[in-house]
Chain A
Amino acid sequence: MRNLFSLRTKLIVAFMIVAALVGAVSVYQMQSINRFNALFTDLIDNDFHRLDQLETVRFYTFALEQQAFANIQDMANGETIDVAAERTALTALLQSMRNSENNYVVLLHDDSDKQNKSIGEITAKTEVLGALAGSILDQKVTPSRAELEKVEEELKVQRQELTQLLNAAIVNENREIRQEKAGADAATTRIINLNIVFAAATAAFALGLGLLVASLIARSLNKVKAGAERVANGDFSRSIDVTSHDEVGQLAQTFNDMAVRLRDSYNRLALERQRDEIMLESMSDGLIAINDEGHITLVNSKAAEMLDIETRSTLMGRPLDQELVVYDKNDKQLDPNYSPARAALDGGTPITDIFTYHKQGGSKIILNITMSPVGLEGKERGVIMVIRDVTREMQVDRMKTEFISLASHQLRTPLSAIKWFTEMLIAGDAGKLSSEQMDFAKNVADSTERMIQLVSSLLNISRMESGRIMIDPKPTDLHELVSGIVNDLKAKTVERRQNLVVSVHDGLPKVSLDARLIGQVYMNLLTNAIKYTPKGGEISVFVSRKGDELVSQVTDNGYGIPKAEHHKMFQKFFRAANVAKVETDGTGLGLYLIKAIIESSGGKIWFESEEGKGTTFWFSLPMSGMKAKEGEVTLDN
């Protein structure tokens, strides 16, 4: 159901009032015009017509007189008259006069005594005159001159009397006509005046009504506008006070609802903002945000503390490159053409790097800074930099590496002594040994060898973990690489009577690899295969290309790995239970190491194995090769 109070309804009502007024005026006008028309008709139909009749009678009066005089003249002159014709003519005249008089009577619709009386007299006099004029013609004998003159005189008198009566009547009629005309004029004037008044009144009313409606609507709309302005300025205190049920009222209501929701949103945002501020300020990392022009937009307190900034506000809007100068991780000048923040923004991915920062007092700290681009698609593009002071970390790391290097070196020295003296002992350089002595000495030698390898592995792992291992990829022929390793292990496979088969796919192109690192991988896998396969077993190596990956496979039919231990295989120092008893020689570090090598080369390593049946290891490397990496050390070997 339409809203009864809608603006449309109000406007329609207003228009209908005006239309009614106009209608009323029109009706009155029509009535006036009708009255006027009646008057006018009356005038034409009756008054002028009557006048016309009287004038006709007067005319015929003269005609009658003339005719009679003509007859009298003729008679007086002794001429003969065509009596019949004259009589006919006379009768015709008379009849015409009677007709007109009758018409006149008929036209006297309203009983005007005066006019009735006068027409009666006229009618009578007409008969008299007619009789007189006819009397001449009726004479059998020609009247004498004296008689003719008498009749002539009488005729004149009668005719004059009739004329007088007619004139009087005509005068009356004229007067009446003038009166009615005056009445008509008056009516006309009245109508015109009234029309003007009504038109003016209607116009004024319509204008007034229109203005009223408009101003009512405008007032309500202004209230809405004022309310909107208040909300735009953040003032949510008052609601819009429009309670009409029409569309404007609905608008106001809707607006009030919206204002409430907006206020709630503001409050929520303010709360979130507060929370964000607290988070930013209580972070243990420094945070600096820059816009896409490289100007600083935000610095949290931790960053200020880290970088010796006293007043953060002075940095706002300043270019980052000028305000915060950093050097590379070796404390050298950065390449002026390379801006990592810009690289992050343009590339769309976060960049992490290490920098050196010179503090106020002259001390230097190492910073790990991650630069993440934000707002890539639209406005508000910028970079958020998370800064971590890693000076201590670096120190600790360096200390650790130095320690391990030192420890390895220090450990190796006595180990070398043990190794060599034991070697000489076994060789008999200090005298022949009993079989038991030989046995003991060999045990010492074996254990020493294990320890030496353990130290090597530890050193390698420490190097891998500290990321200091260099990667030096060169185009490598896989066949050569694998064959070389297999050759080095020939002694072992021959000793254990194991069959080692190598199959490198024909036409495999050279792949960009660090031969030392990948060689280590093959060495480890093959050594394991040899060690964990009983004598007389079968070992095979397949290297082929699958899509954009180089896949290598090392399979043996040895002891296998129990299912329960599969998930631990790549853990440091882990050795599966079923082989640790059989083969004491093993550090449990080999797989951990080669997994690290493969994964840092962009590849994957996986295996399948069944206890008692055998094991197959696969590893993949991208055909595109390994990425070169600067480093300080290589694997120890």
Chain B
Amino acid sequence: MIDPKGLTAVAGIGYRQYKRGTAPLPERGVLVQVIVDACDDAGFDPALIDGFVSYGDDKNEPVRLMPDLGMKQLNWSAQVWGGGGGGVAGAFGLASAAILTGQAKAVIVFRALTEGNSGRLSAAVMAHHLNDHMVAAGTVAPAQICAMRAQRLFEHHGVPQSVCEELVRASYHHGKRNPDAVAYGRDFDLEAARTARWIAEPFRLFDCSRENDGAGAMLVVSSELARDLRKIPVKLLSVAQGAQKGWGDLLENDDDDLYPTAGFGAIRERLYAQAGLTPADIDVVQLYENFSAQGVASLIDHGFCTYENVADVVRFENLIANGGKLPVNTSGGNFAHGFVHGIGCAVEAVRVLRGESANPVPGAQTCLLAGGPGSPTISSAIFGLN
């Protein structure tokens, strides 16, 4: 068996984001742009791409990209199952698996989403899961399902709801300083957030991620090939996807102890063991947060804190790039940078390790990418420079 640690790397990134409903081109056009951007970033000819991986029910079948990219050969196309963002990190595992087994040489991991083509993301995600049981109870949106789990996390498991505010504030702190972020240049109005309209209790508006038009693409190649390309290779140190018994699309019948979690207990040990790292070795986290409580639950799942000490760790000062011990979402994340189904979190994982983040983490060697929390099939990855 191959020890995959560090054998593949991200060599190029491309990301374009627009206000929802305002992409200048239809979805596939924006996608082609970011793929070419990623290749330009790496100094790599798009015609030499031979594989694609996506997640979250992306609708852009790779073969249709071949004419625009000038590709001669498609050797690999795959997608992680699931309607939510649970597969974003696992997508890198599929790309890496193809490369390490000689089935492809240059694989693009992508996600593209424009409202004009794919409609509202929240509706698409829920359509993947919707059934008459849920509709009969009026639970038709991800926010409501996550809200019920959050309520249990706070009321039954004793996690203080105030930690959610700390995570949101840190995200907007980073977003304010990122010229590409929707929150760029804006002061976060804490009082306005505290009194913003309810979506589904305990979530108010600012507990919820945004939706943006846009696309992201990342070129994955062998670390050997990446060394010859333009940018510093950001290596894939480990990646894991999956679920455990008692979790996942069970009509809210997940096991008692799993119900309030984000589902990452299933992969935590595999993820760290493959990288030979522990949570203490992680320098920065890109945390997919669909909703504030699920972001916090993900940090708990990944071993950064517990129900008991979460308030000591998930503090604004501890989460920001400038001085925090656990910098989280240095671009602003899904809350304050923007949300193209979480591909922006993966892009930022590479940027921050290259030293290209708007909120740099000096000396960062490792970055954990936590995929969509609460998804039936979840995934995470650890990227590193060595």
A binds B: no
Chain B residues with CB under 8 Å of chain A are none
